[in-house]
């Protein structure tokens, strides 16, 4: 509607000015249409791929689900959790479980189930912990064996 109003305002202008206004209107509409196409293509590239129903996610060896004993060790490495009513931030244990879920299944961040909270919060926390060196410590706890390994030799 705004475009039509701008063109109607130009009817009282000299012919040369009207031509410029018409050229600019056509240019703007072409540019907006191209920008919209590019945005849609980018959004489609970012969308998670839907795996076929017959295939199950690839499991990575050595990463198991988070146990209560592991969580107690990890909890000591993290700052105390404070509930924030305004922000949509998951509890630290859910964040860890979501990261472990991604590692176990080989899925993308965007495929994280809703029960873990927003995927962007999980990914942001993972990258922050990697920068701070906390994820290395957490990973060591996750990879610890429950009992000593015994050899049959």
pLDDT at 141: 84
Vertex 122: Cα angle to 97 and 49 (nearest 5): 95
Q: How far apart are alpha carbons 151 and 126 in whole angstroms?
A: 36
pLDDT at 59: 52
Token couple for 91: 């509890």
* Number of domains composing the chain: 2
pLDDT at 153 over 80: no
My answer on whether 40 and 80 are in the same domain is no
pLDDT at 20: 87
My answer on whether 138 and 72 are in the same domain is yes
Q: Which domain holds residue 33?
A: 2-46
pLDDT at 82: 65
My answer on whether 78 and 133 are in the same domain is yes
- For 112-137, how does the pLDDT look when each residue is reduced to its tens digit (9 = 90+)? 988 888 898 899 989 988 898 888 88
- Taking residue 47's Cβ as centre, other Cβ atoms within 10 Å add up to 10
| Spatial CA neighbour of 60 closest among 22, 103, 19 | 103
Q: What percent of the chain has pLDDT over 90?
A: 8
My answer on whether 74 and 138 are in the same domain is yes
My answer on whether 76 and 138 are in the same domain is yes
3-state DSSP call for residue 49? coil
In a domain, 150, yes or no: no
Q: At what angle do helices 92-105 and 68-75 cross, to 10 degrees?
A: 120
In a domain, 128, yes or no: yes
Q: Which long-range contacts (CB under 8 A, 24 or more apart) does 145-149 make?
A: 146/69
My answer on whether 40 and 82 are in the same domain is no
In a domain, 14, yes or no: yes
My answer on whether 77 and 122 are in the same domain is yes
Q: How far apart are alpha carbons 109 and 139 in whole angstroms?
A: 18
In a domain, 88, yes or no: yes
Token couple for 113: 């189930």
My answer on whether 35 and 72 are in the same domain is no
- For 71-122, how does the pLDDT look when each residue is reduced to its tens digit (9 = 90+)? 888 888 887 766 665 555 678 888 888 998 888 888 889 989 888 888 988 9
In a domain, 149, yes or no: no
My answer on whether 134 and 83 are in the same domain is yes
| Spatial CA neighbour of 112 closest among 128, 127, 95 | 95
- Taking residue 66's Cβ as centre, other Cβ atoms within 10 Å add up to 19
pLDDT at 143 over 60: yes
3-state DSSP call for residue 34? helix
My answer on whether 88 and 137 are in the same domain is yes
In a domain, 119, yes or no: yes
């Amino acid at each position: 509607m705004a475009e039509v109003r701008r063109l109607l305002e130009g009817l009282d202008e000299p012919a040369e000015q009207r031509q410029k206004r018409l050229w600019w209107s056509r240019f703007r509409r072409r540019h907006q249409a191209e920008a919209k196409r590019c945005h849609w293509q980018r959004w489609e590239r970012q969308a998670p791929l839907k795996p076929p129903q017959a295939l199950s996610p690839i499991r990575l060896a050595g990463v198991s689900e988070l146990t209560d004993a592991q969580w107690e060790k990890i909890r000591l490495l993290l700052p105390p959790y404070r509930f924030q009513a305004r922000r949509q931030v998951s509890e630290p244990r859910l964040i860890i479980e979501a990261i472990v879920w991604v590692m176990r299944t080989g899925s993308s961040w965007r495929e994280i189930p809703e029960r873990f909270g927003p995927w962007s919060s999980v990914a942001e926390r993972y990258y922050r912990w990697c920068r701070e060196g906390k994820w290395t410590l957490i990973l060591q706890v996750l990879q610890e064996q429950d009992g000593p390994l015994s050899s049959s030799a």
